[in-house]
């Protein structure tokens, strides 16, 4: 299979899985409990369609579109993590939200990851391409940092996670870590083929996350309360 053929296959598989996931989210009425996650799934599908349309009819404006798209994607993922945290709080009674603690943990995880990153600042690139690289790196770090902050916060408070929220968070966490690894590897002067393989691995990991969510939402959710001893 040629690289282009593999790209198309992964892309089509991803879009198909997004469609299945959306159908399951509607069927299970997830928009009632996780509305931001639901809207995000709709927007992902819309973004794929817009992407295809722009690449076909106006490839010159693709980068500008992608800058907006990746920013929206990051903000959505951030909002989903906040939604999951709120849902976990509702599930655990007698908890104070601890927003200051959460903000401190977020600052701590950002600092740790930022020192690790040691980014190579792009120079000599046009403004939009430079912005693209900087945003890509910043969002990759912030996504993992937000995930770590929520994990530390819930561990410190000894919170219990409902299965559904845990699955959504696990998928997001896995994808965020893969994105960060790919972006870190991209900064180490790889040749074109290796660079592209990493992109394909990232796209395939997104497909895996979608499949993981589809498998979970396809099953009937078990009763949330345990059986008495």
Partner 1 sequence: MILLLLQIGVIAAVAFYLVRWRSAVRRRNAQTWDSLLARLRPDWSARELSDHFLWKEGVNATPEDAWMRMEGPKGLWVMYQNARVLLEMADYADRNYSGVDRLLLETLRSDAMQIRVCVLMALGQYAFSQASEGVRVNAFRAASMYADMAARMTQLLQANAAAIVPDFVAAM
Smallest gap from residue 129 Cβ to partner 1 (A) = 23
Smallest gap from residue 145 Cβ to partner 1 (A) = 10
Query: Which of these, 100, 185, 102, lies nearest to 137 by C-alpha position?
Result: 185
Closest CB to partner 1 among 220 and 228? 228
What span, in angstroms and rounded, lies between the C-alpha atoms of 104 and 229?
Answer: 39
What span, in angstroms and rounded, lies between the C-alpha atoms of 83 and 65?
Answer: 27
What span, in angstroms and rounded, lies between the C-alpha atoms of 45 and 71?
Answer: 16
Smallest gap from residue 81 Cβ to partner 1 (A) = 13
Binding site for partner 1 (CB under 8 A): 92-96, 116-118, 144, 147-148, 151, 154-158, 160-161, 163, 166, 170, 173-174, 177, 180-181, 184-185, 188, 225-229
Smallest gap from residue 68 Cβ to partner 1 (A) = 28
Cβ-defined contacts of 196-201 (< 8 Å, 24+): 196/3, 200/3, 200/6, 200/7, 200/10
Closest CB to partner 1 among 32 and 93? 93
Closest CB to partner 1 among 16 and 111? 111
Distance separating the N- and C-terminal Cα atoms of the chain: 56
Closest CB to partner 1 among 13 and 113? 113
């Amino acid at each position: 299979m040629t690289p282009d053929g593999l790209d198309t296959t992964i892309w089509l598989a991803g879009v198909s899985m997004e469609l299945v996931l959306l159908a399951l989210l509607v069927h299970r009425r997830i928009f009632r409990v996780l509305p931001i996650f639901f809207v995000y799934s709709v927007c992902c599908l819309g973004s794929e369609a817009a992407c295809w349309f722009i690449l076909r009819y106006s490839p010159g404006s693709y980068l500008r579109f992608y800058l907006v798209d990746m920013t929206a994607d990051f903000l959505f993922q951030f909002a989903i993590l906040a939604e999951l945290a709120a849902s976990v709080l509702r599930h655990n009674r007698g908890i104070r939200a601890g927003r200051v603690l959460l903000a401190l943990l977020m600052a701590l995880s950002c600092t740790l990851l930022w020192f690790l990153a040691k980014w190579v600042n792009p120079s000599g690139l046009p403004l939009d391409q430079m912005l693209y690289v900087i945003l890509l790196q910043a969002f990759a770090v912030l996504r993992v940092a937000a995930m770590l902050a929520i994990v530390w916060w819930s561990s410190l408070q000894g919170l219990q996670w409902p299965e559904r929220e845990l699955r959504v968070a696990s998928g997001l966490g896995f994808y965020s870590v893969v994105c960060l690894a790919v972006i870190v590897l991209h900064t180490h002067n790889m040749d074109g083929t290796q660079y592209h393989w990493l992109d394909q691995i990232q796209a395939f990991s997104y497909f895996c996350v979608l499949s993981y969510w589809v498998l979970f939402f396809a099953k009937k959710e078990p009763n949330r309360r345990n059986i008495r001893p």
